[in-house]
Amino acid sequence: MIATSDALIVIDPQLDFCPGGSLAVMDGDAVMAPIAALVRDFAHVVVTQDWHPAGHSSFASSHAGRQPFETIAMPYGEQVLWPDHCIQGTPGADFHPAILPAVARADLIVRKGMNPAVDSYSAFFENDRATRTGLAGALRDRGVTRCVFVGLAYDFCVAWSALDARAEGFEAVVLKEHARAIAMPLAQGTTADAAEAQFAAAGIATSM
């Protein structure tokens, strides 16, 4: 049951995260039209947009001798190095055409990753875990008590956003069928498996 105190939060539905993009998530484009169809059921809609300056510190190209998907130590903790993606003003940073009905209905569009020295997966905090985006306060002002997350990528920006929503006192749901994962390999399982273990521990459901 969807209530008027629920917010649909659409995470990074951008061309660079879809097939053909520089950081493509497998099958990422397949969730765009289904997400857009959900919008009519929600009183509150938020869309996030990765919005990096060129030369961002999270890009492998900014670190000599480093390759995408390696990890390095940053002042704020471990950082995965990514291919250059979602650079401000480039086509890859644009929203996927099929998601535009959701964008048109959005109460808020939250741009993140603009600080060249700090990455930002979560819709609520930059990766330094101290710098807020202001989303939590905006949702509280609107009377939102539960956040429903969809989009890309399930195991990174969607997961971090859902976990931060719980930490901020909101109920949280991730609609797994409306998200897609990068699923990087770990010593045990993948980053998608790790995210789901965190969801279970935090009381985050993966369906409604």
Residue 124 CA to residue 164 CA, distance in Å, equals 7
Residue 48 CA to residue 43 CA, distance in Å, equals 17
Q: What are the DSSP E strand ranges found in 131-192?
A: 146-152, 171-180
Query: What does each C-alpha distance from 97 to 18, 33, 39 come to in angstroms?
Result: 11, 9, 15
Strand order across the beta sheet in which 44-50 lies = 108-112, 44-50, 6-11, 146-152, 171-180
Q: What are the DSSP E strand ranges found in the chain?
A: 6-11, 44-50, 71-74, 77-80, 108-112, 146-152, 171-180
Q: Please list the active-site residues.
A: 12, 112, 157
Q: What are the DSSP E strand ranges found in 2-122?
A: 6-11, 44-50, 71-74, 77-80, 108-112
Q: Cα-Cα-Cα-Cα dihedral of 50, 122, 24, 197, to 10°?
A: 180
Q: With 0-12 CB in 10 A as exposed, 13-18 as middle and 19+ as buried, what is 169? A: exposed
